[in-house]
Structure 1
């Protein structure tokens, strides 16, 4: 009996071991277990279902959808378009700047003319002051002769009478009756064309850009032609001026044909229904005949498409009588219709206004009175003379 029980116990142990081995052999592995997904997080009322295709993070078997990244900010922003002030009243606003540079000339003349006794020595001093101020020899003699006559008629002179006398004489010499209108209005479908000429260093390209600001400030649509293809920075400089005020700039390859660029600018003016096309030409050395001839070619090529309404000669007021010689040479090549006198607020002598008009018979139409973008102003003879004489 005991032997029989022992056999049963041994059989039972073997059976238990066999079942345990089978269990270990066939138990499910971890990767075969079904994945139990966590319940979705509660959503706020009105929230949208997450869309597929977004970025996700795997975290403990849960998938979190991230919002798409914000678009990268543009690295290059378009320049902000400026709104220039209108041209009306510009010279009045800039009068203080003009007075600071020119009043010594006017006050010197007033002091001399106010002396009780005006002998030949005083008149010689008055003449010297006028010539030093770049009035020119012929205009100076005319002014002195007229002033001598007026002094004899007046006899005793009060300060106010002396000032009125000198003011009248200076205005007469500056010729306020000259037509200083800028011809920049379109002719039906044809834009007005302004050709800007002058020697390098006078501020020609800057004047072209500032003139575009003046015209746009008055409500005109402007196209700029960068026909100065020989100076590397000229087209870029003009492009900067155009970008600031929203003027279209037509340019060509460096060293290209200036006449071709000028023609294309006029064509663009027609295409865009612009009011005015301003063509900035290369700075011509007035001693080099070939370059001057090329300027004549630019004008002739433009006139195959449209008339040139205005030829502005840009002169640096600080060059004095040397600027006069430049003006005379340019006048032989193109029909100058007006003068833009730059740097009149610096060390310039105001008499250059009188001498350049007298020599050329062409009016000063624009004056540059500072380095700022809006420091180009239509020339006003009365404001100019009053600034010279002071209040």
Structure 2
């Protein structure tokens, strides 16, 4: 066969061209060149019919480990993939004290961090006490509480080193003194049927969520509860309360969006009395305390309630958003005058470094604090305990 023909077949069938004689290449390249030749099979070179065993077994052996290697990790990877799924249910929910400490961590870390920086390797003097007082006021603890703490720390300790741990201990004790008198459980008067609880507050303080959580607690105590969707301005509030009603098994009195709130409350009072419910929880629209017309509407709701029962509402709970800081002080004053607030619920303590505002409110207004909230879960609203709160905000072990 001519060299031109041989070159053509080589290019067509991918044979490797070489200037070396055809008898010298290894078997793997010589065999493809011999196959398309015009020479009869019996005249083909020996390597074409009897290839050396070296190259082909080597190729097979090189490919086999690649396949085995790719498949090998599968049994090793599979068990770890299922392990986390089995471990997840074993996690125990955090206790209330752990959630409280975690929720107040922003407030406590801001306060105790400043205390540590102030009292590390420094003798107590007037300047140190003044800086401490400023720190406590900035933490929204209130002027009276800040002064009481600094006076106690300064008593007999001038020109001495005072540890940050000692300051935190005194802080916790003084805060507990202020909060102990107001840490009062919410009491349901069984002589009233129903015991009417009116929940008020500005927009976004968590009134509807608080009502839902409180309904769950009361239902768990075996009390029959009815909910009234008095926030008729927000369709979302009505739907949210209906969802809580389904969760807790409490019937919900609701009307179309924009309906008269006082009229709805009138109907709810009548239905709760007819059903002999133990508790009627009434939601109200969020309103700014400086809007006179909205506060007048709230007064109307209270008057309608008293047409059914002159002693009602038996409890008026004001929800306060801890993130508002000092603005919460004016809310207590104005809602107190308008609706006759009987107790407080402090919410969103887990989202602020200003949790100390509860201390300032307690010192000034001395209203009962029934509940505090440190999250969105149904178990994140708990009865207020002064000692636990004081220890958490001072960064001490609970």
Q: How far 1:150 moved relative to its partner?
A: 6.5
Matched, 1:178 2:178: no
SS at match of 1:365: strand
Is 1:233 paired with 2:236?
yes
Does the 8 Å CA contact 2:178/2:362 hold for their aligned counterparts? no
Q: Decide whether aligned partners of structure 1 residues 179 and 374 sit closer, same or farther in structure 2, where only a CA change above 3 A counts.
A: closer
Is 1:123 equivalent to 2:123 in the alignment?
no
Question: Which residues of 2 match residues 7-156 of structure 1 at below 5 A?
Answer: 91-92=96-97, 94-108=99-113, 111=116, 112=118, 116-149=122-155, 151=157
* Structure 1 CA distance for aligned equivalents of residues 95 and 315 of structure 2: 21
How do residues 183-198 of structure 1 correspond to structure 2 at under 5 angstroms?
Answer: 183-187=187-191, 190-198=193-201
TM-score by length of 2: 0.69
**Partner residue of 1:169?**
174
How many residue pairs were aligned?
Answer: 300
Structure ID, larger Rg: 1
Q: Distance in 2 between matches of 1:92 and 1:275?
A: 30
Which residue does 1:368 correspond to in 2?
A: 373
Q: Give 1:140 deviation, angstroms.
A: 2.1
User: Which structure 1 segments of 5+ residues have no match?
Assistant: 1-88
Q: Secondary structure at the match of 1:340?
A: strand
Contact 1:320 1:348 in 2 (8 A): no
Relative to its length, the structure with more strand (as a share) is 1
CA RMSD of aligned residues (A): 2.4
| Distance in 2 separating the partners of 1:272 and 1:240 | 21
Give the C-alpha shift of residue 330 in structure 1: 1.0
What's the counterpart of residue 212 of structure 2?
209
SS in 1 for 2:323: helix
Task: Give how far 1:157 is off.
Answer: 5.4
Structural mapping, 1:330-341, within 5 Å: 330-341=335-346
Give TM-score scaled by structure 1 length.
0.71
Q: 2-side partners of 1:193 and 1:316: how far apart?
A: 23
How far is the alpha carbon of 1:263 from its aligned partner? Answer: 2.2
Q: Is the 8 A contact 2:173 2:390 kept in 1?
A: no
Equivalents in 2 of 1:299, 1:157: separation in Å?
53
Match of 1:31 in 2: none
**Corresponding residue for residue 345 of structure 1:** 350
Moved over 4 A (4+): 113-116, 154-163
Evaluate the alpha carbon distance shift between residue 143 and residue 164 of structure 1 in structure 2; reply closer, same or farther with a 3 A threshold.
Answer: closer
Distance in 2 between residues matched to 1:234 and 1:97, nearest whole Å: 29
Equivalents in 1 of 2:156, 2:114: separation in Å? 15
Query: How far apart in 2 are the matches of 1:90 and 1:272?
Result: 36
User: In structure 1, how many angstroms separate the alpha carbons of the residues matched to 2:95 and 2:342?
Assistant: 22
Evaluate the alpha carbon distance shift between residue 291 and residue 150 of structure 1 in structure 2; reply closer, same or farther with a 3 A threshold: farther
* Deviation of 1:264 (Å): 1.9
Q: Which SS does the other structure have where 1:193 is aligned?
A: strand
2:88 aligns with none
2:183–2:369: 8 Å Cα contact kept in structure 1? no
Match in the other structure for 2:301: 298
* TM superposition shift of 1:106: 4.7
Specify whether residues 100 and 139 from structure 1 end up closer, same or farther in structure 2 by C-alpha distance, changes over 3 A only. closer
Counterpart Cα distance in 1 of 2:282 and 2:173: 37
